[in-house]
């Protein structure tokens, strides 16, 4: 193979690799900006706490929005749903969700909070609040599903162990016509439920981490180009 052909192939591979790394860096930078906008939006909602009715959770046009909501209703007599692999302060546990029927509007899932789960993988027992009550909190999209591999949920005793919280699948299991596309994260000051807060990025990367990864990818893109230049000049001197 001629020297010219070698240079063409080498630089083609270097440029492709560098472009790929740069693209990954841009993606990480984009995710950082997205999450900053999300945190700013939620910060405004939590700052004002202007309560909307719970029926707002069923508004398809706001399925990805964040709203403070309040209303009365009751928890349905149905098994709770335990979202697996939820970390808190370095411990692994589950988030407990239960179906709630507002006085007006479609039923929705309520995040009752976090509970630890031992190495035996036995689900913790929870007691659902009984009777008519008032609830309030932050309406949010369901937790990110990630890779959709395998069944989203499996029955374990008196509860469901869930790896993906999909309202349509949950509604089918509960024999309900539908569930609202958003879930309610309870106000931590309410005297029901378990350990909880309104932090949104507990089990995912914050903006600063995304920017850190972006710098690494951009650095790899630059490194590939520098190596290509160095190797090119070395071959030209021979």
pLDDT digits (tens, 9 = 90+) for 102-111: 998 889 999 9
Residue 89 confidence (pLDDT) above 90: no
> Do 107 and 56 meet the contact criterion of CB atoms below 8 Å apart?
no
Residue 68 above 90 pLDDT?
A: yes
Q: In the predicted model, is pLDDT for residue 202 greater than 80? A: no
Kindly state the DSSP code that residue 92 receives in the 8-state scheme.
Answer: E
What percent of the chain shows pLDDT beyond 90? Answer: 32
Q: Is the predicted pLDDT of residue 93 greater than 70, yes or no?
A: yes
Phi then psi for residue 168, to 5 deg, are: -65, -40
Residue 7: CA count within 13 A, CB half-sphere? 11
Spell out the domain ranges in the chain. 3-34+207-237, 50-186
What's the pLDDT at 146? 53
The pair phi, psi for residue 200, each rounded to 5°, is -100, -20
Average pLDDT over residues 63-84: 91
Which string of b and e fits 115-126 if b means at least 16 CB within 10 Å? bebeeeeebeeb
CB 183 within 8 A of CB 135: no
Average pLDDT for 199-213: 78
Tell whether the model's pLDDT for residue 4 goes beyond 90. Answer: no
Taking only the tens place, the pLDDT of each residue in 137-189 is 999 988 875 555 556 777 787 888 888 888 888 888 888 998 999 999 999 99
Q: Would you state the structure tokens that stand for residue 20, as one six-digit string?
A: 């790929």
DSSP of 1-18, one letter per residue? --HHHHHHHHHHHHHHHH
pLDDT digits (tens, 9 = 90+) for 109-134: 999 999 998 777 888 888 888 899 99
pLDDT of 53: 93
Q: Which residue has the higher pLDDT, 74 or 7?
A: 74
Q: Does position 23 have pLDDT exceeding 70, yes or no?
A: yes
Answer yes or no: are the C-beta atoms of 100 and 110 closer than 8 Å: yes
pLDDT at residue number 150: 54
pTM of the complete model: 0.76
Structural tokens at position 215: 């710098």
Model confidence band, residue 22 (pLDDT cutoffs 50, 70, 90): very high
Q: Which residue has the higher pLDDT, 103 or 35?
A: 103
Q: What is the mean pLDDT of the chain?
A: 85
Q: In this model, does residue 5 exceed pLDDT 80?
A: no
pLDDT of residue 164: 83
């Amino acid at each position: 193979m001629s020297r010219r052909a070698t240079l063409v192939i080498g630089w083609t591979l270097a440029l492709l690799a560098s472009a790929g790394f740069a693209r990954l860096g841009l993606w990480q930078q984009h995710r950082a900006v997205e999450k900053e906008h999300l945190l700013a939006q939620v910060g405004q909602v939590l700052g004002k706490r202007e309560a909307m009715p719970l029926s707002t959770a069923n508004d398809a046009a706001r399925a990805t929005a964040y709203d403070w909501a309040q209303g009365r209703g009751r928890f349905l007599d149905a098994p709770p749903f335990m979202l697996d692999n939820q970390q808190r302060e370095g411990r692994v546990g589950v988030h407990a969700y239960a179906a709630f029927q507002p006085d007006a509007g479609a039923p929705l899932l309520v995040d009752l909070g976090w509970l630890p789960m031992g190495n035996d993988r036995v689900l913790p027992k929870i007691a659902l609040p009984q009777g008519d009550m008032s609830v309030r909190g932050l309406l949010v999209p369901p937790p990110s599903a990630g890779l959709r591999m395998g069944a989203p949920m499996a029955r374990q005793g008196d509860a469901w162990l869930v790896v993906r919280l999909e309202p349509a699948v949950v509604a089918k299991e509960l024999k309900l016509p539908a569930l609202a596309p958003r879930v309610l994260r309870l106000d931590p000051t309410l005297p029901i439920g378990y350990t909880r807060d309104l932090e949104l990025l507990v089990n995912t990367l914050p903006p600063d981490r995304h920017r850190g990864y972006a710098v690494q990818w951009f650095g790899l893109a630059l490194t590939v180009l520098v190596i290509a230049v160095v190797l090119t000049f070395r071959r030209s001197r021979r």
